[in-house]
Structures are given as C-alpha cells and as structure tokens.
C-alpha cells in the first residue's frame, strides 16, 4: 500500500504557492473542502485561480478567500449567492469566466481523462460561443470546448481510506469525483478516515490512484444555504 | 383574472405525462411538483446529482449533504439514485431527460430564451440552464407575460443575452398558454380565466397567432 495520509489541512496544502490554479469541489456549500479552505486563508497564498461551480457565500466557503483578496480569477457556472463576489467583479478586482455547468463538469472530466477537447451543444448561438469552433453533427451545432486541469484539486468526501479511495454521500458528490482526477496533486479531506480493507471495493466512487494526499478533517460546519422543511 | 404563480404551476402540471423524467428549474417550475396528479408517475432530476427528488424533509430529517439545485434541503424517495455532476449532465445532454420546465426573462417568437444575464446589473451565471436548453426534447417556460414596468417579455427578438436558440416549445404565463411554432410565432392555445384575447394581444410584442375560439384554462 502507498500511504497517502497527512496530519491535517495545513500540512496538506503547505506547498501550494501563490498564483496556483486550484479546483475546489462542491455545489453551493454542499461537499466543499472546508478544512482546506480555512488552511488556505490562514496561509495567505494569493493570486489564485479557482475552478469551482460556485464561489461560496460572503462568509463561508470560497467567500472567505474572496474577503481576503486571495483569488485573482474564478472559473464557475453560478456565482449568485455572493455579494462580495459581485462587488469585486463589477469593480474589476476579480476576473471571472462563467461556463455552462455541464460544460464545466465535462471539461474537468476530460482533463482528468486525457481528452484535450470535445464538442457540446451547450451555449451554441450565445455569447459563450464567441471565438469557439462550431461544427455540425447530424444537423445540430456543437461548440469545441477544451479540457481543464489544475495544479491542485481540493476535494471533500464522506469516507476515505489510507490508500486514497473515496466514498461520497448524498449530493455532496457533485464535482468532487471529476476534480479528483484532474489535479496534478489531489488532496482529499474526509469526515472519516479508515484503514485499508475497511471500505468495500464495490462501493468506491473515486479510486485511490487519483488521490495523492488524504486526511481526516475536523469541525465540519456543513452550512445549509436554504434550510427547507415540510410545510406542517 | 390573470394567474398567480400557483395558477401557472397548476396549469403546467397538466402538461406532465406519465412515466417521464423531468428537470424543474428554480422558482415557479419547482412549484409544479406540488400539483402533479397522484396517478401520474414521474421522476424529478436535480442537476447537482440526484434522480428521484423526494419531498422537503421533516425538521429532524434535514441533511446538509442532500440538496436540490436551488440549494434547498430535500429527501430521496424509493428508487432514487445519486451521481456526479458529469453523469448528471450526461443525462441532460444525452437526451435522457424528457421534459425541462424553467423560468425566463424573455422568449422570442422563434423560441430563443434569455434567462441568465442582465448586462451591467446581474452577474450570476448560467448554471445548468444552457446545457438544459441546448439538449432537452421538450422545454416548457413558466413566466410572467410582462415585466413589472408593463413591457412584453414575449418578443420578436430577445434583447438580453440569450441562453439558447430555437428551443422553447410551450409557454405558460399569467395570461395565456402558447405553443412556439417551428416556423416562428406564438400560437395562442388557452386564455387565463377572464382574460380576453385582446388583452393577450396587447401584452405580446412578438407575432401572436390566433385561430378560432380560444378556450379558457381549466384550473381548479
């Protein structure tokens, strides 16, 4: 077994330099690498390019790194929950690349799978298509989109073992499995770290080959954006 | 009487067919789920990785790891499955989802839709909307016929940045039900209770096609 365990988030992210390109898993605040984000804020690296479906909220998730002006560029599909983000964007302090969500997911998947480009129908005829090659297949138009890869991918799983195998829970899976494949270094934080052999190989979502570092996170807040319950 | 949001949702629910997989957008489309008759079996897809969205949870069932695309806490139902965002959009782009119901800021008479951006004002992003409208076989739009300032949102051409071209098949507004014809034009199908054809014509900037008697919507 190759042991990939590090002690904590600080140790896991210690060598992330200024101006690195990062992928951060999560949809909204669901399944985000909370411990790694806190450690990045503490370390104070700047000039980061962050690839993440969303940008957190003002005081949680990637929003914490926006407050401290550590992010130079965001590559996302939807950033509507964050007023500080909108302010930095409109004032020109922050660059942003907005990408259709399925295209974002597939570009990351392609990056991890060694596929440099692919055609997708999303965005044809819109401003997303500007400057992109269009090709027709069976009478329908498609855009050429390229892969995305990152220096570091920061993912969050429910359980993991010391060999880096990961199991996700509920809709906290989202972008995490593809991002795990697309980072030169993938750092996984998990709620429960177990010995090898304890996870059923049939139930693994992300194989350990994609994960370089793993640690058991602590004090998960798992904030809920829209707590909605049954109307009594 | 023009319809309220609940009325629009109830009317759209009548379009839902048994045995289909459906993606509901945020806002009025989410309400549609409440009015699908018990004898119609459908499965709701959530783009963040859940097929088979259940009802909202009881207070003690709330799980931060189980949300819908609007970031609301939800539950799973018997027969649900969970997957990654890449697989979710494989379902969407691959044509496996039968019906998409979503909101719009503008629709044009050839079926273009704008619902993601107001230049200089709203910078939120398109989320999954561009993938959905580029791929779905059947797209129904739920929207108000006019803006708050009274301007028609059913136009000859969209003025806002578009989300997708020639994709909307049907529109249900507070005033009317219309089909978007393949050759262009909004074909008036039904009127909201008590709303006249003239009122609908006045509220529609794009080409409105009226053939014969236009019945009132039947909504309980």
The CATH number covering residue B39 comes to 3.40.1080.10
**Average pLDDT per run of 10 along chain B, which is 220 residues long?**
94 97 92 93 97 95 96 96 98 96 97 92 88 95 96 98 97 98 97 97 98 94
- How close, in Å, is residue A21 to chain B by CA atoms? 21
Residues A179 and A111: their CA atoms lie apart, in Å, by 9
3-state DSSP call for residue A3? coil
Residues A36 and A48: their CA atoms lie apart, in Å, by 14
Contact (Cβ atoms closer than 8 angstroms) between residue A16 and residue A40:
yes
Please report, for the domain that includes residue A169, its CATH number.
3.40.1080.10
Q: Is A24 on the interface with B (CB under 8 A)?
A: no
Per-residue pLDDT reduced to its tens digit, B161-179 = 999 999 999 999 999 999 9
Q: Where are the beta strands (DSSP E) in chain A?
A: 21-24, 48-51, 71-76, 95-98, 117-120, 134-137, 140-146, 150-161, 166-167, 183-194, 213-216
Enumerate residue ranges in chain A where pLDDT < 70. Answer: 232
Q: Is B56 on the interface with A (CB under 8 A)?
A: yes
Q: DSSP letters along A73-125, please? A: EEEES--TT-HHHHHHHHTTSSEEEE--HHHHHHHHHHHHHT--EEEE-TTTT
Query: How many H helices and E strands in chain B?
Result: 5, 15
Read off the pTM. 0.96
- Where on the phi/psi map is residue B151: left (φ > 0), alpha (ψ -120 to 50), or beta? beta
Residues B12 and B28: their CA atoms lie apart, in Å, by 10
Q: What pLDDT was estimated at residue B8? A: 97
Burial of B182: CB neighbours in 10 Å, binned 0-12, 13-18, 19+: exposed
Q: Is B134 on the interface with A (CB under 8 A)?
A: yes
- How close, in Å, is residue B69 to chain A by CA atoms? 8
Judged by CB atoms closer than 8 Å, whether chains meet at A123 and B73 is answered as no
Q: What is the dihedral of CA A57, A59, A65, A71, to 10 degrees?
A: 40
Q: Total domain count for chain A?
A: 1
Tell me the CA distances in angstroms from B33 to A160, B29, B41, one per residue in order: 36, 8, 11
Candidates A80, A122, A129, partner chain B, best to mutate (most B CBs within 10 A): A122
Q: Which residues contact B83 (CB under 8 A, 6 or more apart)?
A: A173, B49, B50, B51
Q: What pLDDT was estimated at residue A87? A: 86
Residue-wise over B7-39: b if at least 16 C-beta within 10 A, else e?
bbbbbbbbebeeeeebbbbeebbbbbbebbeee
Q: Is A123 on the interface with B (CB under 8 A)?
A: yes
Domain hosting B176: range is 5-209
Contact (Cβ atoms closer than 8 angstroms) between residue B32 and residue B9:
yes
User: Which residues of chain B neighbour A66 with C-beta distances below 8 Å?
Assistant: none
Q: Is residue A38 domain-resident?
A: yes
User: For A201, phi and psi rounded to 5 degrees?
Assistant: -55, -25
Q: Is residue A204 domain-resident?
A: yes
Q: Nearest Cα to A171, choosing from B75, B90, B66, B72?
A: B66
Q: What pLDDT was estimated at residue A232? A: 62
User: Which residues of chain B neighbour A86 with C-beta distances below 8 Å?
Assistant: 123
Q: Total domain count for chain B?
A: 1
3-state DSSP call for residue A48? strand
Handedness of CA B48, B53, B58, B61 (dihedral sign): negative
Q: Is residue A193 domain-resident?
A: yes
Q: What pLDDT was estimated at residue B193? A: 96
Q: Is residue B193 domain-resident?
A: yes
Tell me the CA distances in angstroms from B124 to A12, A53, A97, one per residue in order: 32, 12, 11
Residues A162 and A7: their CA atoms lie apart, in Å, by 12
Residues A101 and B216: their CA atoms lie apart, in Å, by 39
Q: Is A138 on the interface with B (CB under 8 A)?
A: no
Contact (Cβ atoms closer than 8 angstroms) between residue B193 and residue B1:
yes
Judged by CB atoms closer than 8 Å, whether chains meet at B126 and A101 is answered as yes
Select the residue of A53, A120, A169 nearest B93 (Cβ to Cβ). A120
Residues A83 and A107: their CA atoms lie apart, in Å, by 27
Per-residue pLDDT reduced to its tens digit, A120-142 = 999 999 999 999 999 999 999 99
Q: What pLDDT was estimated at residue B220? A: 81
Domain hosting A32: range is 17-98+149-216
Is residue B47 part of the annotated active site? The answer reads yes
Judged by CB atoms closer than 8 Å, whether chains meet at B73 and A78 is answered as no
Burial of B216: CB neighbours in 10 Å, binned 0-12, 13-18, 19+: exposed
Q: What pLDDT was estimated at residue B124? A: 86
ipTM: 0.96
Contact (Cβ atoms closer than 8 angstroms) between residue B152 and residue B197:
no
Residues A85 and A62: their CA atoms lie apart, in Å, by 10
Q: Is residue B151 domain-resident?
A: yes
Q: What pLDDT was estimated at residue A187? A: 98
Q: What pLDDT was estimated at residue B88? A: 98
Q: Nearest Cα to B86, choosing from A210, A179, A109, A124?
A: A109
Select the residue of A124, A170, A228 nearest B65 (Cβ to Cβ). A170
Q: Is residue A5 domain-resident?
A: no
Contact (Cβ atoms closer than 8 angstroms) between residue A25 and residue A35:
no
Q: Is residue A1 domain-resident?
A: no
Q: Is residue A68 domain-resident?
A: yes
Q: Is residue B111 domain-resident?
A: yes
Residues A162 and A194: their CA atoms lie apart, in Å, by 7
């Amino acid at each position: 077994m190759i042991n990939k365990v590090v002690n904590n988030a600080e140790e896991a992210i210690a060598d992330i330099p200024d101006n690195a390109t990062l992928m951060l898993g999560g949809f909204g605040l669901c399944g985000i690498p909370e411990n790694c984000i806190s450690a990045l804020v503490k370390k104070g690296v700047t000039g980061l390019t962050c690839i993440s479906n969303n940008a957190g909220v003002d005081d949680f998730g990637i929003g914490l790194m926006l407050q401290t002006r550590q992010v130079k560029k965001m590559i996302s599909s939807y950033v509507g929950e964050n007023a500080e983000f909108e302010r930095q964007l409109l004032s020109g302090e922050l660059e942003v690349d907005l990408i259709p969500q399925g295209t974002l997911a597939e570009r990351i998947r392609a990056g991890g799978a060694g596929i440099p480009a692919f055609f997708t129908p999303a965005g044809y005829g819109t401003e997303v298509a500007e400057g992109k090659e269009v090709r027709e297949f069976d009478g329908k138009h498609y855009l050429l989109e390229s892969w995305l890869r990152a220096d570091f991918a920061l993912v969050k799983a429910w359980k993991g073992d010391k060999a880096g195998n990961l199991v996700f829970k509920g809709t906290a899976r989202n972008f995490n499995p593809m991002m795990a494949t697309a980072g030169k270094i993938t750092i996984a934080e998990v709620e429960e770290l177990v010995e090898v052999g304890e996870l059923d190989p049939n139930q693994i979502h992300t194989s350990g080959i994609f994960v370089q570092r793993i640690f058991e996170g602590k004090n998960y807040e798992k904030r809920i954006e829209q707590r909605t319950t049954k109307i009594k | 009487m023009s319809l309220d949001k609940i009325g629009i949702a109830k009317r759209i629910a009548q379009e839902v067919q048994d045995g289909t997989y459906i993606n509901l957008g945020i806002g009025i489309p989410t309400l549609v789920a409440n009015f699908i008759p018990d004898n119609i079996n459908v499965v709701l897809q959530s783009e963040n990785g859940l097929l088979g969205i259940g009802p909202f949870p009881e207070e003690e069932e709330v799980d931060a790891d189980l949300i819908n695309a609007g970031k609301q806490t939800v539950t799973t139902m018997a027969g649900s499955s969970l997957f990654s965002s890449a697989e979710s959009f494989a379902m969407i782009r691959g044509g496996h989802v039968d019906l998409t119901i979503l909101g719009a800021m503008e629709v044009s008479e050839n079926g273009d839709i704008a619902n993601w951006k107001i230049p200089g004002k709203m910078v939120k992003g398109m989320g999954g909307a561009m993938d959905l409208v580029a791929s779905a076989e059947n797209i129904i739009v739920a929207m108000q016929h006019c803006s708050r300032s009274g301007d028609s949102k059913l136009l000859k051409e969209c003025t806002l940045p578009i989300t997708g071209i020639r994709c909307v098949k049907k529109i249900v507004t507070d005033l009317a039900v219309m089909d978007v014809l393949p050759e262009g034009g909004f074909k008036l199908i039904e009127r909201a209770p008590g709303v006249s054809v003239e009122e609908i014509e006045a509220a529609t900037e794009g080409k409105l096609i009226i053939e014969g008697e236009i019945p009132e919507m039947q909504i309980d």
